[in-house]
Every structure is written in C-alpha cells, then in structure tokens.
Amino acid sequence: MQNESATAIAPDLPPEPEMWRAFTERDAGYDGVFFTAVRTTGIFCRTTCPARKPLRGNIEFFGTAADALFAGYRPCKRCRPMEASGDAPGWLRGVLETIERDPARRMRDADLRETGLDPARVRRWFKAHHGMTFHAYQRARRLGRALGQLSIGDDIVQTAYRNGFESLSGFNDAVRRLAGESPGRARGTTVVRLTRIPSPLGPMLAGATDDALVLLEFAERRMLETQLRRVARQLNAVLVPGETEITVRTADEMARYFAGELSAFSVPLATAGTPFQEDVWAELRTIPYGETRSYGEQARRIGRPEAVRAVARANGDNRIAVIIPCHRVIGSDGKLTGYGGGLWRKKRLLELERGEVELGLGPG
C-alpha cells in the first residue's frame, strides 16, 4: 500500500474536502465516483459503506476499484465495491424482480422474511436510494401503473382491484394524494416513471413517459428537486418510481456512451421548455461529439448574439444531462464554467469524448 507521503488525489476526482464530506455522510450520490481505502485495515469501500468511519489520517481516495486493488487493498465484504455503481445489490435483486413480474403484488414484511431478508435492511436501502420506504415504493409503483391504465380509458373499479387496492375508497384517496384529484379527473394526467441508472460518475436519475425521456440528472445535483417540480408542472405529470422501455433504452445507451462505444444518442426526448430554452437545447445537440463551443458562439448560432447570459441560464436549466450536451459549452477563454453536475464531471465527460480517459460502466 502507498505510504502517507505518497498519497495524491487524481485531478479528475472531486475535490478532497468534498470526498471526505461524502464519505463521512455516506452520500449515495457519490457511490462509484470514488473509493475510500483504509490503511489500518487494508480494505477499500464505497462512500455508502455502513462500517464505522476511520480517522481522516488513515484513509486515501481512489478513482476506481482497480486503482485500489493495484495499491494492495482488498474489497470490503459489507459494501461490495466491486459491483457496478447504481446497481441494486445482489441480495435485493430477487425482490425487485418479483415486483417487476407482478407490480400489483403487495409484499409485506412477512414475505421479505420468507425470502431470508431483514425488513429493516430493505427499508434502509430504499430510503437511501429512493427516498421512501419499501412499502411506499410499492404503493407508488401500483399507483403509477393504475394512472397509466386510467389514461387509456380503463374502468376505475377494475383498475383499483387489479393493482392491489383492497377498497375503492382507499384507491380514491391514494390517487387524490398523488395526483391532486379524483381518479375520474386524473385520466388526463401524464405519468413519469423515475429510476436510477448506474454511471461511473455516480448514479443518475432518469425519468420517462411511455414515449420519451424527460429527465436525466446526476442523483446528487443540488437542483434535482427543482427540476422534478418543473417536470411535474410543465407536463401536468405525477412522478412515480418504475421503468419504461425508454428508461431501459436510456440505461443501455448511457452504458455504451461511458464505455466509449456510442457518440450519438437515439432515445426520444421531450424537453418542455420556453421557446428560447428549446432553441438553446436544440443548438446544444448540434455540437459534435468531442468538440466544444463557447456560450457566445451558441448565442450567435441561435440568432441572439446579445443573449450570452440567457444562453448560460438555459444551459443550466437543461434537464437531460449528457444526451443534451451542455457539458460541451465552455467559457470564451477556454476554461470550464458552469455545470450543474460539478465541474469535475464536466472535465471527465470532455476527456472521455476526446479519448483521453476510459470510464466504462463498472467500478474499474
């Protein structure tokens, strides 16, 4: 293992104080972005590892699991850092597959125990990764499925019982809480399903209707809640956990992008912005892979050379990261400026597209 004097933070990692904060707070948004090795134990971990945190002087950071292995550390058996970032852990996959096969099924604590799982452990994982308990996640999935069925004209009573609701009044109350109106009035509500997808730069949150991708953001971005509210308002949508064919396709294309195998995306998008924002976002998609432009050049290209600051604001309001490549816009002096996912991510994305680094999807 490296000695203390040899410790160095690679330039493409987040700043060291930010990594220390993320590690001590078990910030899931940085899961897979970097790994923390403990000199006194010879073990390296994810940021989310539940093990007791060591003293600051006893740790060092690595950009990949491979780097930690080559430095002589062995993977932690509790947090399993060799598994891909953002993937569900192996012990939980059976439950998730059961829910996908039968979304109307209501798995209770007793059902979890029958599969050998501790309900408290499952609850903690869902709280950390979805911001809700396992049972709330199931309810939201059932509601989202029900709203989708109502939107195509299905009968309200049949929809309620088909999706595991034990009474029509309970179904009515649940729909009112989620959509703000009765099932009959909620027929025109758009359903956006949200799911996390893995990325070597940290988990991303993808949101899609049955027809288009409407959101793709790094999970710990500060503006994420604001972006979610904007999606709900502009699309008259309810947001529920779950996958669509669009999110599955997005995950596949993102994996190939990070592996250096894809330079142009084909997943359909729905951006829902002002006319000016739509112009800016459309122009962003004309920037060739591996190239950059300045904010001033972007403003000139949309016929608004005086609107450089407005162009920068529209870039910041982009809700579909990477696919709408706002990371390819830089300052007129060539410096990296303004990226909601963090300038260190912008730097790594540009390095990837220039062929200067290999990221891949796994942890190393």
More confident residue, 166 or 294: 294
Q: Is there a single domain that holds both residue 279 and residue 318?
A: yes
Asked which of 34-43, 154-163, 187-196, 281-290 is least confident by mean pLDDT, the reply is: 154-163
Across 157-174, average pLDDT: 57
Q: What is the pLDDT of residue 252?
A: 93
Nearest alpha carbon to residue 84 among 51, 46, 52, 126: 46
**SS3 label, residue 193:** strand
CA distance 6 to 117: 43
Considering 48, 75, 102, which residue would you say is the last residue of a domain? Answer: 75
Q: What is the pLDDT of residue 305?
A: 92
pLDDT of residue 222 exceeding 80, the answer is: no
Q: What is the pLDDT of residue 22?
A: 86
CA distance 262 to 278: 24
49 is catalytic: no
User: Which of 30-34, 40-44, 78-82, 142-146 is the most confident on average?
Assistant: 40-44
Percent of the chain with pLDDT over 90: 26
More confident residue, 202 or 262: 262
Q: Is there a single domain that holds both residue 47 and residue 160?
A: no
Nearest alpha carbon to residue 333 among 294, 360, 281: 294
pLDDT of residue 180 exceeding 70, the answer is: no
In degrees rounded to 5, what are phi and psi of residue 61?
Answer: -110, 145
Q: Please say whether the beta carbons of 46 and 31 come within 8 A.
A: yes
Question: Hey, what amino acid is at 62?
Answer: F
Q: What is the pLDDT of residue 178?
A: 55
Asked which of 60-64, 66-70, 251-255 is least confident by mean pLDDT, the reply is: 66-70
pLDDT of residue 42 exceeding 80, the answer is: yes
Q: Given 45, 49, 76, 326, which residue is catalytic?
A: 326
Tokens coding 142: 């059932």
Q: Is there a single domain that holds both residue 306 and residue 199?
A: yes
Q: Is there a single domain that holds both residue 57 and residue 116?
A: no
Q: Per the domain annotation, does 36 fall within a domain?
A: yes
The reported pTM is: 0.62
Residue 29: band (very low, low, confident or very high) from pLDDT cuts 50, 70, 90:
low
Q: Per the domain annotation, does 71 fall within a domain?
A: yes
Q: Number of folded domains in the chain?
A: 3
> Where residue 363 sits, what CATH number does that domain have?
1.10.10.10
Q: Per the domain annotation, does 80 fall within a domain?
A: no
Considering 156, 188, 220, which residue would you say is the last residue of a domain? Answer: 188
Considering 75, 98, 127, which residue would you say is the last residue of a domain? Answer: 75
The chain-wide mean pLDDT, for the chain, equals 79
Which tens digit of pLDDT belongs to each residue from 224-242?
A: 778 888 888 888 777 777 7
CA distance 284 to 286: 5
Residue 171: band (very low, low, confident or very high) from pLDDT cuts 50, 70, 90:
low
Strand arrangement, sheet containing 204-208: 213-218, 204-208, 190-197, 237-241
Exposure b/e, 67-99, CB count within 10 A at least 16 = b: bbbeeebebbeebbbbbebbbbeeebeebeeeb
**SS3 label, residue 328:** helix
Task: Please say whether the dihedral angle defined by the alpha carbons of residues 317, 321, 323 and 328, taken in this order, is positive or negative.
Answer: positive
Across 341-362, average pLDDT: 80
More confident residue, 170 or 334: 334
> Where residue 121 sits, what CATH number does that domain have?
1.10.10.60
Which tens digit of pLDDT belongs to each residue from 275-322?
A: 999 999 999 999 999 999 999 999 999 999 999 999 999 999 999 999
Q: Is there a single domain that holds both residue 277 and residue 172?
A: no
CA distance 292 to 331: 10
Q: Is there a single domain that holds both residue 260 and residue 350?
A: yes
pLDDT of residue 176 exceeding 60, the answer is: no
Q: Is there a single domain that holds both residue 236 and residue 288?
A: yes
CA distance 89 to 39: 26
Residue 195: band (very low, low, confident or very high) from pLDDT cuts 50, 70, 90:
confident
pLDDT of residue 135 exceeding 60, the answer is: yes
